Every structure is written in C-alpha cells, then in structure tokens.
Chains A and B, each alone.
Chain A
Amino acid sequence: MIKIEEVRKSFGNLEVLKGIDLTVDKGEVVCLIGGSGSGKSTLLMCINALESIQSGRIEVDGIDVHAPSTDKNKLRRKLGIVFQQFNAFPHLTARENVALAPRHVLGLPKSETNQLAEHYLAHVGLGDKLDAYPTQLSGGQQQRLAIARALAMKPDYMLLDEVTSALDPELVGEVLDTLRLLAREGMTMIAVTHEIPFAREVADRVAFFHDGVIHEIGPARDLISSPQRTRTRDFLGKIL
C-alpha cells in the first residue's frame, strides 16, 4: 500500500504540491490527470524519492520514504518507474538494458539475468529484438523496453510518468496494450496520463490534479463521465 499524507513540495518559491493525500491499495490502478504544471509528475518523483519533499509523509508498505534512515536504493527496487523520455541506455542492447539492474543491484548471476531479460522482453512483445541497440528500435519499442527493464526488478508498484506523451500517435497503441496487460495481471500502478479513454477503461480510480492539489478523485467511469466540479468538467471538455 502507498500512503500519501499532506505532502508539500516546492522548487524555490514555487509550491508545486500543496498538500496531497492519496492512498493506493495493492492491485489498484490509479490514473492522475490534469493540466501541465499541476504537480502530477512531481508526485511520482517524490514517491520513489527521486525528489525530496518539504513536509508530509509518504509510506510504501509501511516504510517512510523520506526518512533519513531509509535506504532509498533498496526502496526503489519495490517501485518501478518509467518516464516520458524513453531513457533506454544507448550503449547497451535490449537484453543488456533489462539485465543491468538485476545483475548489479540484485547481484544475480549472468545466466539468470539473461533469462530474466529474455522473459520480460518477450512479455512486452520484444522477444525478437534481444540484441538490438536502442537506436535500432522505434519510440514505441524503446518505451516497451523501458517497461520491461522496470518489470525485471520484480517491483511491487509501477509508476508511469506520461509514458505515451513523447510517442508518435501510431505508436501509442502498442504501449497502452502493454499497460493493459500489466493491469490484467494485477500490477499496482500509478499512471500520469493524458489518455483519458485509456484511464477510463483501465483505471480503478482517477484523480484530477489542479494547482498542486487533488481537485477531484473518484471511480474512473464516474469521474470521467460525470465530473462533479466545474474545473474537472472544463479540463475534460477541453481534452476530449
């Protein structure tokens, strides 16, 4: 379970998160929507301690993420993260990309990490691209590679930060298909997304961010079909 309580975060004088409360249960899929600069992506960075917070508390399976005594590298193994930019490591093949962290973070033997890599690459539909370098892959394939790389650490949660935003329209579908697959398998996910139809279909709950707070949150279908608040309605009206 991920428990977020009263989290505040500023960059200099700019307060980006102004008191966020959110609890995500095991197996749940929560989509975060909202305009750019509303703080959704920052929240993801705070959950796996890539960004610090000024006040409040984030707990992952009972571990206080931002406590000084927390081993952040160890914590991040629980939390897979995928970014908008694909961030495939250009100097490594697809197989090496996926095997890197299991080998050097978990210390698994090479034979095992290779198997792991092959398994997860096949899982995201890249079974025939094991020895390809990222430059030889399309944007959609690179993003699926990034997903496989995160999955290979066998995380309990996946944080997805606008993973389809940098893709050409015709490549969005293949990445969303991969995410649907994860949702069906019961992976707990927090996804920042602009794909409203996708959120409606896959998410259990949707949270609308506005100006650093969760302006409205509710079951996906309800919030998207019949938003209760004006700003939510305006936003959805603009984007749909």
Chain B
Amino acid sequence: MLNYRFQWRAVFKHLPDLVDAAFLTLQITVLSVIIGLAIAVILAVWRRSENAWLFWLTATWVALARNTPALLQIYLFYFGLGAYGIHLSPYAAVLAAITFNNAGYLTEILRGGIDAVNPSQGRAALGLGMTPLQVYARVIFPQVFRAVFLPITNQIIWAMLGTSLGMIIGLQELTGMTTFLQSQTFRPFEFYLAAALIYLVMVETVLVCARLYARWAFRW
C-alpha cells in the first residue's frame, strides 16, 4: 500500500467531464422523482379504490418495485422490452426503471403519511363547518406532507445513487463516465474516489437543504 502513488493530474484534466456527467445524474434523479411522485399519488388513490382491478394493479406495482433488484428492473426495460419490439436507449431505460421503482416506494410512503394523520382531525375540521376540500387542503395535507417529507428525501437520495446502475448498460452518468475515463487513463482508484466525493457532495447538499427547509417549515 505504501508504494501506491496517487496521481490526480488525469482526474483534474477530466473534471469538467465528471461535472457534466454529474448533471446528467441530477437530471435523471429529478425527473424520476417528479414523475414517480405523480404516479405514486395516482397509485395511492387507486389503492383505496373499490375497483378490484385498480387495487391489484397498484398492489402488483408496489410489490414488484420493492421485491426485485433495481438492476433487474433496468435490465427488463433495456433488454426485456425487446420481446415487444421496444428498444429503449440506456437513458430511457434507466429513467423508466428508476421512475418505476420510485413510484412503488413513494406509494407506500404516501400511504404511511395518510395513515399517520389521526382520522378524528378530519371530523373536527368538518365539525367547524369546513368543506371536505378545505379539510384536505388546510388540515390533512399539511400533516401528511410533514409525515412524508423525510422518507421522500431519503427516496431522492436513493434515486440519485440508483442512477449509478446506468453504468452497467453503458449510460454515461457520473459512474458510467468515471468508468469510461478510468479505462482510458488507468487511474481507477483516483477516478472512483473523485466520483465518490462528487456523490457525497450532491447527497449532503440535498440533505442540508432538506434539513434547513424542514426546520423552517415544521416548527410545530
């Protein structure tokens, strides 16, 4: 070990490439969380629906997303859909798989958040003469939002780290780009350390922002 000499020059030279790749990672993260959240809201509503089909669709989605590896989900979108003549680019496959996964986990998070609100809160608000819509907007939603805020933050971080799987199917997000560059320069240790550091900075940024926002928004 003592003989190993770090050489950072190649890393510095390619730093702009790494930063560009990090932005691609961020882009997939943001998109997959936003779309995933939109789907999760629908699934969470369907989950409570009387319609057996909608209920089972939701239950299946959630179970598949949670009980199979994300890498398998990426493979399914990338290789598996070929059986139907659908050929996704690595970018589309990763985005679709991470979104699919996010939607499953977020559905459960939303369900937990709704369950966390005492049902008598709604009754009390109705008792004051508020309309059902007002009850949801002014009384229920703020409490659900608080309950889901931390789990959603964790899911965002998971999604960010999960995009690194794109490397395996050749997507040049941060990990993929790192793999490509180290193979060109033969400095794997330095490049992966640099990538780890960039991930660390991105994750900590999300966490710090989330904590600051939570402190400001949830004084109660």
Contact = CB atoms under 8 A, between A and B. Distances in A.
| A and B in direct contact, judged by CB atoms within 8 A | yes
Interface of A: 48, 50, 73-77, 79-81, 83, 85, 87, 89-93, 100-101, 104-105, 133-135, 146, 149-150, 153
Contacts of A50: 123, 126-127
A76 B121 contact: no
Contacts of B134: 104-105
Interface of B: 118, 120-121, 123-131, 134, 138-139, 142-143, 146, 218-220
6 contacts: A79-B127, A87-B118, A89-B124, A89-B143, A100-B128, A105-B134
A135 B220 contact: yes
Contacts, number: 70
Nearest to B220: A133
B220 A105 contact: no
Given A83-B123, A87-B120, A92-B220, A149 B128 contact: yes
Nearest to B141: A91
A80 B142 CA distance: 24
Instruction: Identify the 5 closest CB pairs spanning chains A and B, nearest first.
Output: A87-B124, A101-B128, A81-B127, A76-B129, A133-B220
B138 A100 contact: yes
A196 to B, nearest CB: 26
A105 B142 CA distance: 18
Contacts of A75: 129
Contact of B128 (A134, A135, A150): A150
B128 A90 contact: no
A33 to B, nearest CB: 22
Contacts of A105: 128-130, 134
Given A81-B124, A89-B124, 8 more contacts: A76-B129, A79-B127, A83-B124, A105-B129, A134-B220, A135-B220, A150-B127, A153-B129
B130 A73 contact: yes
B105 to A, nearest CB: 25
A76 B139 contact: no
Contacts of A146: 124
Nearest to B218: A91
A92 to B, nearest CB: 7
Contacts of A79: 127
B206 to A, nearest CB: 24
B146 A91 contact: yes
Contacts of A48: 127
A216 B120 CA distance: 31
Contact of B143 (A83, A85, A91): A91
Nearest to B146: A91
A89 B121 contact: yes
B142 A91 contact: yes
B215 to A, nearest CB: 14
Contacts of B130: 73, 100-101, 104-105
Contacts of A83: 120, 123-124, 127
Nearest to A136: B220
Contacts of B121: 87, 89
A11 B220 CA distance: 37
Contact of A90 (B126, B127, B220): B220
A59 B121 CA distance: 26
Contacts of A135: 220
Contacts of A85: 118, 120
B126 to A, nearest CB: 6
A76 B126 contact: yes
Nearest to B130: A105
B192 to A, nearest CB: 44
A134 B124 CA distance: 15
Contact of B131 (A73, A87, A93, A153): A73
A124 B121 CA distance: 21
A73 B127 CA distance: 8
Contacts of A89: 121, 124-125, 139, 143
A218 to B, nearest CB: 29
Given A87-B121, A91-B143, A100-B138, A133 B129 contact: no
B213 to A, nearest CB: 15
Nearest to B132: A73
Contact of A91 (B118, B123, B131, B220): B220
